[in-house]
């Protein structure tokens, strides 16, 4: 996949939908009874990149404070959704050491993962920072995880929603009617090619999480230092 082309097409379609009023609101963000949980292998950008992301978010908050903005604690790249969030999933259903073993096996001979964050894109329900791995290391890790988990009998739902191939970071979700869609798109246009920074991944985390990766609902299961 050509990531730049993918992000560009996504942005073109989604920005047009947003301006036409055809965006989608997330009705479950504030639902206290939302019981969708899962297990994710994720990467967190460094503090410099997160600070740059907040500069962008501050401009959006100034024109539309009612949307859901990700705090630094929740900003992440999904390396792999091992068990996609679903209602009623709990940790007592699985043996975490078995998952850790497969992930460690998949990390053997992994080359350095470096990710460049440049520009923003959108979906009909969210705004994302564009992530570009500098080589095939992240894709190679994902392929090894797919292969090793599919050989196992462990519960997993890898690629069940879609085959993950990007390295984006979701930073805004629409939860209320957009106050000024034109201004929102104008700010995203301003940051379309903004350099948020590049970092080398030094740690990958395995977590038990809710749909939005909120820190208060996240349980750290294992850290894998690279």
- CA-to-CA distance for 12 and 98, rounded, in angstroms? 42
Q: CA distances (Å), 57 to each of 38, 78, 185, in order?
A: 27, 20, 13
Listed in order, strand segments (DSSP E) in 96-168 are 114-123, 126-133
Q: Which range marks the domain in which residue 41 is found? A: 3-225
Quote the pLDDT of residue 145.
Answer: 95
- CA-to-CA distance for 168 and 152, rounded, in angstroms? 28
Quote the pLDDT of residue 157.
Answer: 81
Quote the pLDDT of residue 111.
Answer: 86
Both tokens of residue 204?
């990958």
Quote the pLDDT of residue 160.
Answer: 61
Quote the pLDDT of residue 161.
Answer: 58
pLDDT < 50 regions, the chain: none
| Whole-structure pTM value | 0.93
Tally of domains within the chain: 1
User: Other C-beta atoms within 10 Å of 214: how many?
Assistant: 14
Whether residue 139 contacts residue 146, with contact meaning beta carbons closer than 8 Å, is answered with: no
User: Shortest CA distance to 205 belongs to which of 68, 75, 52, 54?
Assistant: 75
Q: Residue 11: is it exposed, middle or buried by C-beta count within 10 angstroms (0-12/13-18/19+)? A: buried
Quote the pLDDT of residue 38.
Answer: 96
Q: Residue 221's domain is classified under what CATH number?
A: 3.90.1140.10
Give the contacts of 139 (CB within 8 A, at least 6 positions apart): 133, 165
Whether residue 142 contacts residue 100, with contact meaning beta carbons closer than 8 Å, is answered with: no
Quote the pLDDT of residue 217.
Answer: 95
Helices (H), the chain: 3-19, 47-63, 96-107, 137-151, 181-190
- CA-to-CA distance for 53 and 129, rounded, in angstroms? 8
Both tokens of residue 147?
């292969």
């Amino acid at each position: 996949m050509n990531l730049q082309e993918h992000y560009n097409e996504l942005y073109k379609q989604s920005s047009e939908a947003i301006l036409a009023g055809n965006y989608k609101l997330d009705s479950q963000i504030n639902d206290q009874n939302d019981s969708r949980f899962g297990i994710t292998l994720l990467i967190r950008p460094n503090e410099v990149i997160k600070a740059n992301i907040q500069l962008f978010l501050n401009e959006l908050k100034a024109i539309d404070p009612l949307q859901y903005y990700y705090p630094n604690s929740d900003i992440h790249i999904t390396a792999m959704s091992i068990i996609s969030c679903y209602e009623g999933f709990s940790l007592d259903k699985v043996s975490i050491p078995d998952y850790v073993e497969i992930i460690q096996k998949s990390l053997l001979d992994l080359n350095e993962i470096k990710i460049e964050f440049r520009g923003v894109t959108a979906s009909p329900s969210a705004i994302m920072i564009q992530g570009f791995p500098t080589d095939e290391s992240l894709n190679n890790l994902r392929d090894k995880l797919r292969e090793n988990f599919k050989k196992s009998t462990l519960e997993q739902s890898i690629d069940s929603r879609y085959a993950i191939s990007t390295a984006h970071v979701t930073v805004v979700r629409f939860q209320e009617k957009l106050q000024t869609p034109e201004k929102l798109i104008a700010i995203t246009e301003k940051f379309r090619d903004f350099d948020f920074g590049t970092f080398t991944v030094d740690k990958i985390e395995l977590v038990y999480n809710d749909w939005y990766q909120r820190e208060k609902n996240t349980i750290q299961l294992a850290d894998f230092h690279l």
